[in-house]
Amino acid sequence: MNAFWVATIGTSVIAFLLKFTGHNVPERIFSHPKVQAINALIPIALLSALVAVQTFTEKSTLIIDHRLAGLGVAILALLLKAPFPVVVISAAFTSAAIYNWL
C-alpha cells in the first residue's frame, strides 16, 4: 500500500468521524444564535475564497487577467441589484470579450 492509499483511507476515516461526531452534538448547541450566525456566514466565506483563488491564480502563481474584469462587472451588477442570471452572463460576456480582444 503506497502513500496515496494511506492518505485516501485516512481522510475517509477522518471525514466519517467528523460526520458521526456532528450527528451526536446536542440540538441545543446548534440552536444557539451565535452558532447559527456563524453557520450562515461559512458558505459566504468559502465561496468568496473560491472566487478569489480562481480569479487571481493560475497553477501556483498570482496573475491579473480578463477574469478580474469579469469579477468587477459581476460586483457592479450585484451593487446595482441585478438578478443573478444577469450577473453571471454579464461577467462571463465581459471576461470572454476581453480574453478575445487581448
The vertex-57 CA angle with 55 and 63, nearest 5°, equals 90
Q: Is the pLDDT of residue 102 over 80?
A: no
Write out pLDDT tens, residues 7-50: 999 999 999 999 999 889 888 888 999 999 999 999 999 999 99
pLDDT band at 78 (very low <50, low <70, confident <90, very high): very high
Task: Give me the count of residues in the chain.
Answer: 102
Domain positions in the chain:
1-27, 28-101
What is the rounded CA–CA span in Å between residue 13 and residue 33? 31
Q: How far apart are CA 8 and CA 15, in angstroms?
A: 11
